[in-house]
Structure 1
Amino acid sequence: MKGRAFLILLVALLHYSCRNNPQKAADPVSASVESLTSNEAGYSSSGLNEELPVNYFSPVEIADLFQRAGVPFSKDYLATPVDPKVLTTSFDKAVNLGILCADLGYMNMYEMTGSSPDIITSIKKLAEDLRVDQFFDFDAITRLSLNKSNLDSLLFLSLSSYSHVDNYMRENDLAHLSVLMMTGVWLEGQYLTTKVIEKYPDQRLKDRIGEQKIFLDHLIETTRPYCGNDSQFTRLCNDLNELSNRYKDVKITYTRGEPVATKDGKGLTIKQTETSNVEMTQQQLAQIVEASANLRNNLIKKN
């Protein structure tokens, strides 16, 4: 896979889960803007898991698979830049922040950064409204995104920035916003894949879409504590459950492979590998494509 940076703000959402490959190594142990605090909004972050121990299909892997399948870049799949004045709640801002970051990652993988300044501007304004802009050097982000030779530098900048944001949100009982940003990143990756597969059928992409059943189940569990706190979370939870229902009959099995030995500074680690096998009909795929688009479009309809 290409070693390029892909997510200007939320690349470290991978902290919650591992990359999803057809062959993977199993883990050895496996409110309004004026009142962002979760206590004021009726939220509690105490039940949030530190990690989601499941596979996560990142935007960079999506774009890499697109390129290997010969799929050209298309700006038609992207969300439009956001006017934060239209998005009046922290819920909307956090979700759209995740969505735009996924789109930016998709563009960077294709080296189509010409439109990135508009998206970076939107990301900056959203971060300001969520009071996390102090953790980002937006001048450096803009400069690096326009210089193809420096795309790798974005990865370090993004990881460092998100680590500070995540700590800030947890310390201030705002972990629900991290959940929303994670939802936005994942959902936009899902949306991009479903849009591409409609025009460019590919078994690898179909399998990846099927495998998201596992991540979706964990995402639903992560959002569950917030489902009854306001109408926006209630609708999100309902829509996630509706998407999950479309996955109900998708079958995923695993074939155990040979153990793999890896050596790092801590010594030798043996990990068991396994290959996933997805059983999903074209009708099931079509239903998942429809539900994914409905969920994503509901979240960006104010843009």
Structure 2
Amino acid sequence: MDALSRLLILNAAEGSIDKNCHLSHDWQLPHAAGDLAVIRWHTVTEGGAEVELPSGEIYTLRPGRVVILPQNSAHRLSQKGEALTFIVCGSLQLQPSARYFLTALPEALWLAPDADSTTFRWLQAAIALMQQESSADRPGSNLLCSQQGAALFALAVRDWLTHNASSEKNVLNLLLHPRLGTVIFQMLEQPSHPWTVEALAGRVHMSRASFAQLFREVSDSTPLAVLTTLRMQIAAQALSRDSRSILLIAESVGYASESSFHKAFTRAFGCTPGEYRKRVQALGQPG
């Protein structure tokens, strides 16, 4: 069995459809940041919608496209165009331990197969089946919706891996690696630890040079660059969900200086930690 299949089976998700309705008249649906072990996804079967994230990214939903939010980030759905919109929103519940796996994914995954592909035809049929089963009280309906939702997630993760194989943001390839996965897990579990390349190499019984070379081959990045990426992602999750001061959040991800944390966070997200927190709060409220 391949590594991605093993990881997805280990983190088996239970899913459901949470909203399945027609919307009109300049509608908006705000969503606050939620449980880190829950994945949310959205699609439309008629009309169009926009999905806005704290990073400032905006995704346009049309029939045959699905946006998946592995970290349950704050976001706002709003009308796109004048047509009546039929929106389908779902969620996938994972075990609490899955938060490390989900943090290795980007804030949003985008599943938009070509219109003439088998995946596109399956996607249309799967969404229709989930709509039907969610509105029917029949034996096995919950399982069918859950399995189809899990398949959406698996396809989106695989597509992202395929198209971002050499990106430094693709931490999942490292997490899936039989040797380097150990150090990525430790970075995720202890982001405040003063990690060095030597210390990380020692965790997998490698020399510093061999470790750095293998890391570069797998990720096209360096251990400390990936550590920074993970620290910023964990900090963003904290800014979205608790009221601790920015200094305390900075310390929780390994920064003794608030100014150095500000600089690193601004490079990663294009805004300061305080601005990010305000965006999150705004997205969770009616606009």
TM-score (norm 1): 0.28
Higher share in helix: 1
Which structure is richer in relative contact order (CA contacts within 8 A, separation 6 or more)?
1
When Rg is computed on C-alpha atoms for both structures, the one with the higher figure is 2
